[in-house]
């Protein structure tokens, strides 16, 4: 039923921006909320346990960047303000840190699933069905994108929690330039069709 976001109109861009604000706000809220549940008040103290998008978005990387990359490449590359946490204050040590990292992308998967269910209640081709379809596609794309095991993406955070010291040292070294590495690999096709195939696989699992 759903597909990767491809050719889009101006109205699609408006829908996309709205979907991004909702998807990333919930994503970052869940990082902060789970961290708070696990005993770390760092994000809470900075006002990040909030559904206010202004607490989480960066105008360049959250709004402008995904619009440009979706128009040029058909792939939304985006990022919000990182949610801070202190691993020394988190319950369950590395497992707790992994839970915080996983909470964001898992929230996108849950939103995609719920929106897919809701889409079935509306006629195919209707505006509401179209809005929901864009929202589903975006959330799946964010979920899959964050699985890339390169810091600072969430997939790397989960892997870091269970990785040997050699991998941790490597991640620590590349993290300052990790986002540029990810963007470069995506834009240059360094992941081949892996991301597209994963997106389509997840989309096909939805109701």
Residues with catalytic roles: 28
Nearest to 142 by CA among 73, 192, 52, 79: 79
92 phi, psi to nearest 5 deg: 65, 15
Answer for the pair 42, 89: CB distance below 8 angstroms, yes or no: yes
Looking at residue 79, the DSSP 8-state letter turns out to be -
In this structure, what token pair is assigned to residue 117?
């269910």
Answer for the pair 67, 16: CB distance below 8 angstroms, yes or no: yes
Looking up tokens 């990333």 gives 24
Largest CA distance in the chain: 53
Answer for the pair 148, 156: CB distance below 8 angstroms, yes or no: yes
């Amino acid at each position: 039923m759903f597909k990767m976001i491809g050719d889009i109109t101006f109205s699609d861009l408006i829908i996309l921006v709205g979907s991004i604000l909702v998807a990333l706000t919930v994503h970052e809220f869940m990082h902060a909320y789970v961290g708070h549940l696990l005993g770390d008040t760092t994000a809470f103290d900075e006002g990040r346990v909030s559904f206010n998008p202004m607490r989480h978005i960066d105008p360049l990387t959250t709004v402008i960047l995904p619009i440009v990359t979706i128009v040029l490449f058909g792939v939304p590359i985006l990022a919000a303000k990182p949610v801070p946490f202190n691993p020394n204050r988190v319950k369950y040590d590395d497992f707790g840190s992994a839970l915080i990292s996983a909470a964001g992308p898992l929230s996108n998967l849950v939103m995609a699933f719920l929106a897919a269910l809701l889409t079935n209640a509306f006629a195919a081709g209707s505006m509401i069905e179209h809005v929901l379809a864009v929202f589903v596609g975006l959330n799946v794309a964010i979920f899959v994108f964050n699985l890339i095991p390169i810091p600072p993406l969430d997939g790397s955070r989960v892997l870091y929690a269970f990785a040997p010291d050699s991998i941790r040292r490597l991640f620590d070294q590349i993290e300052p330039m990790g986002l540029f590495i990810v963007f470069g690999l995506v834009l240059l096709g360094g992941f081949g069709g892996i991301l597209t195939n994963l997106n389509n696989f997840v989309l096909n699992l939805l109701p």
